[in-house]
Every structure is written in structure tokens, then in C-alpha cells.
Amino acid sequence: MNFLVITTLIFYLLSTAGYIVYLFLQKDRLYRAGYYLLAIGFLCHAVLVCAEAFIVGHIPVHNLRGTLLVAGLTIAGVFLVLQFKFKLKILGVYVAPLTASVLFIASRLPDTPMQQINNVFNSVWLISHIIAIFIGEASFALACGIGIFYLVQERAIKNKTQGFFFRRLPSLELIDNTGYRCIIIGFTVLSVGLVTGFVYAEFVWGRFWSWDPKEIWSMITWLLYAALLHGRISTGWRGRKAAIMSIVGFVVLLFTFFGVNFLMEGHHGEFTRF
Amino acid sequence: MLNILLIGLNHNTAPIDIRECIAFSTDETEQALKILKQDEVIKEVLLISTCNRVEVLLVTENKSKAVEISKNFISKFNQIDISKFEKHLYIHEDNEAVRHIFRVASSLDSMIVGEPQILGQIKDAYNLANENKSSGLILNRLLSRAFFVAKRVRSETGIGGHAVSISYAAIELGRKIFDTLEKKKVLLIGAGEMAELAVEHLLRNKVGKILVANRTFERGVVLAQRFSGNAIRFEEIADYLNQVDVVVSSTGASDFVITRKQVKEAMHSRRNRPIFFIDIAVPRDIDPKINRLANTYVYDIDDLKGVIEENIEDRKREAVIGERIVDEVVVHFQQWYDSLDVVPTIVALRKKIDDIVQGECGKLLQTLSHPSEEDQQAVTRMTNALVKKILHNPTLFLKSDDANENKSISIDITRKIFNIED
């Protein structure tokens, strides 16, 4: 298992190196190398997660280590798929180090066994709930990075400083559109994830909604992105505002992901706790 | 031995009035080549004349005489006293001439480093020389190397990278805001050379509709016709701000033509779609405070100049890499050029034949059963005589005056026939 973690990490780090050198030298070869290295890393990572899932008998998200492991995998996966469509070559500069560090942190955490054995994890509803939530969150992670790129580029253009990033980042419109697409994808998939979660809750606890802090914060996150999309469609919140919103949205999402579990009690508790 | 010689003047060494006097048109260049070619001292000749430089590139046996002839020719042809332009001339010989022509072709010696026209101008000059048969073996090779090095410099360095003119810099910025300028609506306010040039660049980038606003509506109509756009009244500008994406402004107005308030209102109704103002007027037409509104970008002439300066600095840094490529190719050319000398060619030829004969001789002696010492010596004597006799006439020819007429060609052919590597 450890061998797989290290192999995956090495590929992610190589990909990071490839993308960073690409940032400086702007040779397409390097960008492609970064992409393929990340893809190989992703495959190793997938094998790793599958192996763990096989051992514990369900998607391994019963502790923080597993959760991060799956989060890293989905970020890499979502990026690899979306990058096919997107023309934002520079995005790898954000994603490759992100996946590498998520994996690294995961690998340093203890692999605590599940506290109580039950069949909580083996339901179609729950599996789709977990997968959808992770994919949605991965898209929002990308949107956050794209938002940062936007702010950097906008600043360069507004301040009239033709710096390092001005040359290397694409046009504002392209960055903005790409971020928007990420939010749409993330929002759609997250909504599916929430619904399946409600259905599952109905089965297990007999009610859709139980005022669990995780549920409340998920709803807040969802509303935030809903507001962002609504603002864009109705009054044209684009550019800087949208970029800041997607960064803020991701920070709130991170709090929902980690903070709630550390600070508050609830039935999602053990999933992301040590 | 033939020498490569370059005599010329350019924007760095000569003021414009001198360059104007000496410039050659295409027809004049043709005449000049014919006249210069008639001279015995000059074996090959090429003439480059652009608005920034006049250069005579020639191959000769007698450098000082060729310089004299060239100077006299320029003086006579353009009816200008030698003393007037002599001090602006530079004269490069051999390697330096080669390096110079490579640098010129690669646009390293241009007024604006990296400008692409010069390569085309040199190609034209070369074609003209070729048609008039004034270029030969050496210049052909030299120019083909020059085109090669120019191509390499362009593709391996960022020398031609970013915009170095105001209007083009504006376009480049536009592309950093909008991904593509295709179908974007453009509003031109006022008129003026630079603004019109910017609009022409925009048209080349396939922008959509062009609107023209002018204080005198009739002038606007004329201008709009030129860009196949529509004219609007000056008072209507604010109403159109919600539909145009790029505004190019160049009026003589002393006040702002577009105010922050107008744009703020327009942004609301255009639902925050970005808008890019290019303000070429002095005093400015567009309130610089507009730049602080969301999704609006204002660049005035000083900002654009700032962009250009940075780009020029960038090109200069890239030029250093270009110089390195030039140095490399100069060395290669030098090697080829040296091989055109008689003595090394004769030595190489002798070695080539000798090697063949010795090799075959060795094989023969091995197949003979026990040749006696005397037999072996007889064979060796025979082969040595063979080599000497075979090489006798070619050597005489290469050293003779017949060959000297076109020595480099004779040598080149000899090397090719016998496949002698450098």
C-alpha cells in the first residue's frame, strides 16, 4: 500500500515539476508531459483507492486519511476530464501541486479503523451521495484556482504592469468562462449529491433533514454557489466578483469539509475525524 | 584567395538625409548590379537598399580596390560627393561581413529589433542579384545560410514576440481581455492616423461592426464608409456604450468625452460584459477613473507606450540568444569557406586517392600466396606512380590560371566529384 502511495506521489510531483517548468519556458511539450504524468499518477491513485476499498469493503471515507485520499483522486480525475475541454493550459500549475499535497497530507495521517461496524456504507444512495459530493467539491476546487488566476491577470491588466503572469496567463474572458463552467458542473453534481444524501437519510434515519451541522453548512455552501450562479445569469456577476465569490465559496466549502467535523458534533462526525 | 566584403551605412551610422540620397530603387539596383559586375575585381555582388540601410555585399580578390570602386560607384551613381558619405560608411571583411549579413537578415541589426520586413527585403535583393547573375557560388551559399539563420533566430528566440507599435500593442491587450476579437463591436471616436491604424488592425482581427462617431457627422460618415461601418452622432456615444466592446478614442476635445457616470450606467445594462477603452488622444478623452470600475479597462497613450517599452526591452534580451545562434552559423560558414582554398583541397584529394589505392593494394597482397619482398616493392612502386599520374593533371588545373578565373567553383566541383568532406 505504502509503495503505491509513494509511486503516486512521485508522479504527481513530476507532473508538478513539468507544469512549473512549463510556466517558465512555455513549451507545449512540457505541458503535455505534465498532463500525462498526472494521468499516470491518477491511475496509480485509483488503484490505491480501489485496493483500500476492497480491503474495507466500501468506499474508504471512514476517516480523514481516506477522505483526503478520495478527494485528491477526484480533483485529479475531474481535472483530467475537464482539461480535455478547457483551453486553460496553465491550470495544471494549480492542480498538480494541489493533488500532490493532498495526497501527502493523507499519507501522513493514521489509518484508524471504523468505530462501529454497520452496513451504513453499502447503499446505492450513499455511494452516489459520496461520489457526487466529491466530484462537486473537486470542481469547486478547480473554480477556486481559476478564480485566483483571474484575480492575478485582472490585476496585471488594471495596474498596467506587464509582468511574468500577464504573459503566461490567457485572456480574462477565457479564464472567467472556464471558472463559470466549473461552477456549473460543481453545482449540478453537488445538488445531485445532496439529494441522494437526503434520500439516504430518509432510509436510515427516517427523515430527510436532521439539522446536523454538516447538513446545515452544506446547505449554506450550496446556497452560496446558487447565489453566484443566479447573480451571473440575472445581473451579470462576472469577472472579479465571480472570481472572489468562487474563492470564498471554496473556503466555506473547506470549512464544511473539515471545520464542522472538528468543531461540531453530528452524524458525519467520524468520516473526517482522526 | 577570394574575400567577402561588405560596405554600407545604416540608421545607426548615417542620418536620414544621407540615406535618402544613396537609396536605390529596384530598377536602380538592377542597373547598379550590372555596372558593378562589369568590373574585373568584383566576382560577385549583391545590393541591399531599404529605408534604413544601403549595403553592397561583394566577393573580390582585391579588397582595397573593391572598396574604392564601390565608393566611387555610389558617389557617381547618386551624384553625391564621396566626402559627404564616406565617414558614415562601415566596411566589414570576411568573417565580420558574414556575421553582419546574418545579423541584418535575422533583424538583430534593425532599428526595431525583430521587425520582420528586413528578411523579405534581403530575399528580394538576393533574387535581383540572382536574376542578373551577379551572385555566384559564395554569395548563394552565404545568403542561403543567412535565410537559415534568420529562420532559426525567429523560431528559437522571442525576438519577434510582442507588439512594439502603439496600435498593435492595443490589439494585443484586447486579446488578453477578450479571448478573441472576432465579432466584437468597435466604436471609433474622432479620427487620427494612430486611431485609424488601430481600427485597421482590429478589422484584420475580424472584429464585428464598426461604429464611427465624429463631431462633424459628415466626416464620420466618410470614415465609416472606409471601414464599412456605421456613423453615429457625437451626442449618441453614451447610448451606444452598452453595445460596443472596444472603444478607440482620438479627438481634440479638451474635456473627457466619456465620463465615469456614463460608463457605470452602461455597465449595468450591458450586464457587466467587459469593455476596453483605448484612449489615444492628448489631452485624454476617457476619464481614467473608469479603469477602476469592474470589467472596464482603460489604456491611454502613455500606458501603451509603457507596454511597448517593456516589449522592446524583452526583445533586446532575446536578441542576445539570437547573437549566439548567429555566431554558431558564422563558424560553420567559415569552415565551408576555408575548404574552398586550393592547397587544402589538393592535399585532401591526394589523401583520398592514396587511401583508396593503399586499401586495394593491401587487399591484393593478402590474396597472393607468399609474394616475395621484391614483388611487394614492385606493387608499391606501381601504385605510387599511379597516384602521381592520376593526380598530375587535376593538380595542375587547380593551380593554373584557368582555374583561377572561377577558382572557388573549380574547387567546389572538385570536392563534390571526389566527395571530399570538409
**pLDDT tens per residue, range B179-234:** 889 999 999 998 888 888 888 888 888 888 899 999 889 889 998 998 989 999 99
Per-residue confidence (pLDDT) for residue A40, from 0 to 100: 95
State whether A101 and A172 are in the same domain: no
Last residue of a domain, one of A67, A86, A118: A118
CB pairs under 8 A between A and B: 52
State whether A21 and A109 are in the same domain: yes
- Chain B contact for A198, CB < 8 A? no
State whether A158 and A84 are in the same domain: no
CA distance B242 to chain A (A): 13
Which of B342-350's residues contact partners 24+ apart within 8 Å by CB, and which partners? B342/B398, B342/B399, B342/B407, B342/B411, B345/B398, B345/B411, B345/B414, B345/B415, B345/B420, B346/B395, B346/B398, B346/B399, B348/B415, B348/B420, B349/B391, B349/B394, B349/B395, B349/B414, B349/B418, B349/B420, B350/B387, B350/B391
State whether B118 and B171 are in the same domain: no
Please state, in angstroms and rounded to a whole number, the distance separating the CA atoms of residues B339 and B420: 10
State whether B122 and B200 are in the same domain: no
Per-residue confidence (pLDDT) for residue B169, from 0 to 100: 87
User: What CATH number corresponds to the domain at position B142?
Assistant: 3.30.460.30
Contact B271 A235 (CB under 8 A): yes
Q: List the catalytic residue out of B12, B20, B26, B51.
A: B51
Q: Which residue of B has its CA nearest to A87?
A: B179
ipTM: 0.84
State whether A158 and A69 are in the same domain: no
- Chain A contact for B158, CB < 8 A? no
State whether A263 and A130 are in the same domain: yes
Indicate the residue of B294, B310, B311 with minimum beta-carbon distance to A240. Answer: B294
User: Is residue B113 included in any domain, yes or no?
Assistant: yes
Contact, B185 vs B245, CB < 8 A?
yes
How many domains does chain A contain in total?
2
State whether A159 and A238 are in the same domain: yes
State whether B7 and B151 are in the same domain: yes
Q: Which residue of A has its CA nearest to B269?
A: A235
Q: Which residue of A has its CA nearest to B296?
A: A158
Last residue of a domain, one of A60, A93, A118: A118
User: Is residue B144 included in any domain, yes or no?
Assistant: yes
Task: Show the 3-state SS of chain A.
Answer: CHHHHHHHHHHHHHHHHHHHHHHHHCCHHHHHHHHHHHHHHHHHHHHHHHHHHHHHCCCCCCCHHHHHHHHHHHHHHHHHHHHHHCCCHHHHHHHHHHHHHHHHHHHHCCCCCCCCCCHHHCCHHHHHHHHHHHHHHHHHHHHHHHHHHHHHHHHHHHHCCCCHHHHHCCCHHHHHHHHHHHHHHHHHHHHHHHHHHHHHHHHHHCCCCCCCHHHHHHHHHHHHHHHHHHHHHHHCCCCHHHHHHHHHHHHHHHHHHHHHHHHCCCCCHHHHCC
State whether B230 and B211 are in the same domain: yes
User: Is residue B326 included in any domain, yes or no?
Assistant: no
Please, which pLDDT band fits residue B404 given cuts at 50, 70 and 90? Answer: low
Please state, in angstroms and rounded to a whole number, the distance separating the CA atoms of residues B6 and B3: 10
Contact A158 B297 (CB under 8 A): yes
State whether B277 and B134 are in the same domain: no
CA distance A192 to chain B (A): 30
Q: Which residue of B has its CA nearest to A153?
A: B176
Per-residue confidence (pLDDT) for residue B372, from 0 to 100: 84
Identity of residue B271: R
- Chain A contact for B76, CB < 8 A? no
State whether A252 and A154 are in the same domain: yes
CA distance B307 to chain A (A): 7
State whether A132 and A256 are in the same domain: yes
State whether B216 and B250 are in the same domain: yes
Per-residue confidence (pLDDT) for residue A250, from 0 to 100: 94
- Bridge partners for B3 per DSSP: B60
State whether B138 and B176 are in the same domain: no
Contact A173 B177 (CB under 8 A): yes
Contact B178 A171 (CB under 8 A): yes
CA distance A254 to chain B (A): 28
User: Is residue B331 included in any domain, yes or no?
Assistant: no
Identify all chain A residues contacting B291, using CB atoms and an 8 Å cutoff: 158
How many domains does chain B contain in total?
3
Q: Would the CA dihedral through A38, A43, A47, A52 be positive or negative?
A: positive
Contact, A191 vs A140, CB < 8 A?
no
Contact, A79 vs A142, CB < 8 A?
yes
Q: C-alpha cell of B100?
A: 553582419
- Chain A contact for B297, CB < 8 A? yes
State whether A132 and A232 are in the same domain: yes
Indicate the residue of A157, A237, A241 with minimum beta-carbon distance to B297. Answer: A157
Tell me the per-residue pLDDT of B3-55, one tens digit each, with 9 for 90 and over. Answer: 899 999 998 898 888 888 888 888 899 999 999 988 888 989 999 998 889 99
CB-based contacts of B42, cutoff 8 Å, min separation 6: B36, B58, B59, B60, B66, B69
Q: What angle do CA B293, B296, B300 make, to 5 degrees?
A: 105
Mutate to test the interface with A, among B295, B299, B301, B304 (most CBs of A within 10 A): B295
Q: C-alpha cell of B123?
A: 530575399
State whether B48 and B97 are in the same domain: yes
Contact A160 B270 (CB under 8 A): no
Please state, in angstroms and rounded to a whole number, the distance separating the CA atoms of residues B345 and B414: 8
Contact B294 A170 (CB under 8 A): no
- Chain A contact for B338, CB < 8 A? no
Identify all chain A residues contacting B269, using CB atoms and an 8 Å cutoff: none
Contact B177 A166 (CB under 8 A): no
- Chain A contact for B339, CB < 8 A? no
Contact B176 A172 (CB under 8 A): yes
State whether B133 and B173 are in the same domain: no
User: What CATH number corresponds to the domain at position B170?
Assistant: 3.40.50.720
State whether B267 and B353 are in the same domain: no
State whether B41 and B172 are in the same domain: no
State whether A4 and A50 are in the same domain: yes
CA distance B279 to chain A (A): 14
Q: Mean pLDDT in chain B?
A: 88
- Chain B contact for A165, CB < 8 A? no
Identify all chain A residues contacting B297, using CB atoms and an 8 Å cutoff: 157-158
Per-residue confidence (pLDDT) for residue A118, from 0 to 100: 54
Dmax over CA atoms of chain A, in Å, equals 60
Domain of B39 in residue numbering reads as 3-156
Last residue of a domain, one of B125, B156, B187: B156
Please state, in angstroms and rounded to a whole number, the distance separating the CA atoms of residues B283 and B299: 13
Is the preceding omega at residue B283 within 30 degrees of 0, hence cis? yes
User: Is residue B329 included in any domain, yes or no?
Assistant: no
Per-residue confidence (pLDDT) for residue B153, from 0 to 100: 92
Indicate the residue of A157, A237, A240 with minimum beta-carbon distance to B176. Answer: A157
Indicate the residue of B272, B303, B310 with minimum beta-carbon distance to A236. Answer: B272
CA distance A153 to chain B (A): 9
Contact A239 B295 (CB under 8 A): yes
State whether A159 and A28 are in the same domain: no
Contact B179 A170 (CB under 8 A): yes
Please state, in angstroms and rounded to a whole number, the distance separating the CA atoms of residues A268 and A266: 6
Q: What is the pLDDT along chain A (274 residues), one digit of tens a residue?
A: 688 889 999 999 999 999 999 998 888 889 899 999 999 999 999 999 998 888 887 778 777 888 889 999 999 999 999 888 888 888 999 999 999 999 999 888 887 766 554 555 567 888 888 899 999 999 999 999 999 999 999 999 999 887 788 888 999 999 999 999 999 999 999 999 999 988 888 887 777 877 778 888 889 999 999 999 999 988 888 888 899 999 999 999 988 888 776 776 665 644 444 3
User: Is residue B322 included in any domain, yes or no?
Assistant: no
- Chain B contact for A28, CB < 8 A? no
| CA-closest candidate to residue A129, choices A198, A75, A217, A72 | A198
State whether B90 and B208 are in the same domain: no
Our answer to whether residue B21 is catalytic in this structure is no
User: Is residue B323 included in any domain, yes or no?
Assistant: no
Domain of A224 in residue numbering reads as 123-274
Mutate to test the interface with A, among B156, B164, B176, B180 (most CBs of A within 10 A): B176
State whether A114 and A74 are in the same domain: yes
User: Is residue B75 included in any domain, yes or no?
Assistant: yes
Please, which pLDDT band fits residue B136 given cuts at 50, 70 and 90? Answer: confident
Q: Which residue of A has its CA nearest to B172?
A: A171
